Amino acid sequence: MKEKISLYKKRSFETLQKFTKNQKIFRIVGILLVVGAIATLIYADAGHDTAEPIVQKQTEQVVVRKVGDVDAYAISQ
């Protein structure tokens, strides 16, 4: 098993040595573009592209007071 792994590493290293610096950079940039495109598609597919509107409900408060209340809040009403 270790022999297979070392043979694979050796072949991978030899393959990488065959490429020029510009080819290596081009391949890395290509891989990053593909990964970015896939991430964008996954994010857009999840429904994150539309924001839901925020709805605030107004509440009204009914205050019942007795005749003769001296509360300052009740008088201002």
Per-residue pLDDT tens digits for 15-69: 777 888 888 899 899 999 999 999 988 887 766 556 667 777 777 777 676 776 6
Residue 22 lies in a domain: yes
* pLDDT above 70 for 73: no
Domain extent, residue 5, equals: 1-48
Distance of CA 9 to the CA centre of its chain: 36
Residue 69 lies in a domain: no
Q: What is the CA radius of gyration of the chain?
A: 35
Contact criterion met (CB below 8 Å) for 74 and 63: yes
The pLDDT of residue 6 is: 80
Residue 61 lies in a domain: no
Q: How many domains does the chain have?
A: 1
pTM (whole model) above 0.75: no
Residue 6 lies in a domain: yes
Number of neighbours of residue 63 by Cβ within 10 angstroms: 9
